[in-house]
Amino acid sequence: MTLKETEKTWNDLGRIDPLWSILTVPGKKGNKWDLEGFLRTGTEQIQSAMAHIESLGIPLRRGRAMDFGCGAGRLSQALSPYFDEVCGVDIAASMIELATKHNRYGDRCKYYLNQAEDLSVFATASFDFICSFITLQHMEPRYARRYIKEFLRLLVPGGVLLFQLPAEPCSLIAKIKTIIKRHCPPVVGLFRFYRRLRDGRPWIIQMYGVERDEVTKLIEETGGTVVDVRQDNAAAGFVSFCYCAVKS
């Protein structure tokens, strides 16, 4: 699935059912999320993230932060009380439009459309904190790896990176599907076409993973120090981890 296809999928979802596509909670499909409840989940998640970082004894500067894969601004808004400036970044124009509409922090929280395979729109060493949750899992590993490298480029020395990424499927069937995705692209194309016909929808939310050892090695090779890795339940059907790293 190319980055262009990923952009189209999330742009469509941003118009059809944006909040549910970000948080696929049972009973919320069909635009049944209320905005306050949706944003409250972001506040709770960022409170937990800040407590996690503090528990690790990591000093965190409160200058500039990035929420990569910001969607409708759920975490960007929640980060704003903690930092002087927050930059929400997303691949889908419809999501950026929605996040901007519901921005409650004025110029302290800005949203950026980024459809490139890198984050060259931002200068090297220009962020104190970067986070990304339930985003990298929806793009092919080749893109996820590039963005992780970009995160470390963008952090100032001592800057903190906190992100979530699945490692491997839990079930045998899911593992077989992952192998097919990796080695048999034509089969994957046919399968997607069948699902679109069956479900009557033009989009499919894909799930991908990168092995834990590969992620930690990538961080270390790109100038970061892995401080903590914790298993979470952010990706249904996958073993998923939350990584905390500091720019060396």
* DSSP reduced 3-state for 107: helix
- Average predicted confidence (pLDDT) for the chain: 91
Per-residue H/E/C for 16-36: HCHHHHHCCCCCCCCCCCCHH
When pLDDT is cut at 50, 70 and 90, the band that residue 204 belongs to is confident
Stronger pLDDT, 181 or 2, i.e. the higher one = 2
Count of structural domains, the chain: 1
Question: Percentages helix, strand, coil for the chain, rounded to the nearest 5?
Answer: 45, 25, 30
Measure the CA–CA gap between 162 and 219, rounded to whole angstroms: 12
The sign of the CA dihedral 98, 27, 231, 238 is negative
Predicted confidence at residue 180, as pLDDT, reads: 55
pLDDT in tens, 138-169: 999 999 999 999 999 999 999 999 999 999 88
pTM above 0.85, yes or no: yes
Q: Which domain holds residue 15?
A: 3-167+209-247
User: Could you tell me if residue 22 is inside a domain?
Assistant: yes
Q: Is residue 77, in this structure, part of any structural domain at all?
A: yes
Give residue 185's pLDDT.
61
Q: What would the mean pLDDT of 229-246 be, rounded to a whole number? A: 94
165 close to 209: Cβ distance less than 8 angstroms: yes
Q: CA-CA distance, 145 to 177, in Å (whole number)?
A: 21
Structure tokens at 37: 């409840």
194 confidence band (pLDDT: 50, 70, 90) = very low
Of 66, 222, 233, which is closest to residue 137 (Cα–Cα)? 233
- Report the pLDDT value the prediction gives residue 1, as an integer from 0 to 100: 81
Cα dist from 106 to 14, 71, 86, 90, 101, whole Å: 22, 17, 10, 18, 11
Q: Would residue 192 count as lying in a domain?
A: no
Overall residue count recorded for the chain in this entry: 248
Q: Report yes or no on 31 lying in a domain.
A: yes
Percent of the chain topping pLDDT 90: 82
- Please report whether residue 76 resides in a domain: yes
| Residue 25 is assigned to a structural domain of this protein | yes
pLDDT at 85 over 90: yes
* Predicted pLDDT of residue 96: 98
Q: Is 15 exposed, middle or buried (0-12, 13-18, 19+ CB in 10 A)?
A: middle
CATH code: domain of residue 163: 3.40.50.150
Using the predicted structure, report yes or no on whether residue 47 has a pLDDT greater than 80.
Answer: yes
The DSSP bridge partners found for residue 109 are 86
Flag whether 229 is in a domain. yes
Condensed to tens digits (0 to 9), the pLDDT of residues 90-131 reads: 999 999 999 999 999 999 999 999 999 999 999 999 999 999
Residue 231 lies in a domain: yes
- The pLDDT confidence band at residue 193, using thresholds 50, 70 and 90, is very low
pLDDT score of 4 more than 80: yes
Q: In angstroms, rounded to a whole number, what is the distance separating the alpha carbons of residues 108 and 83?
A: 8
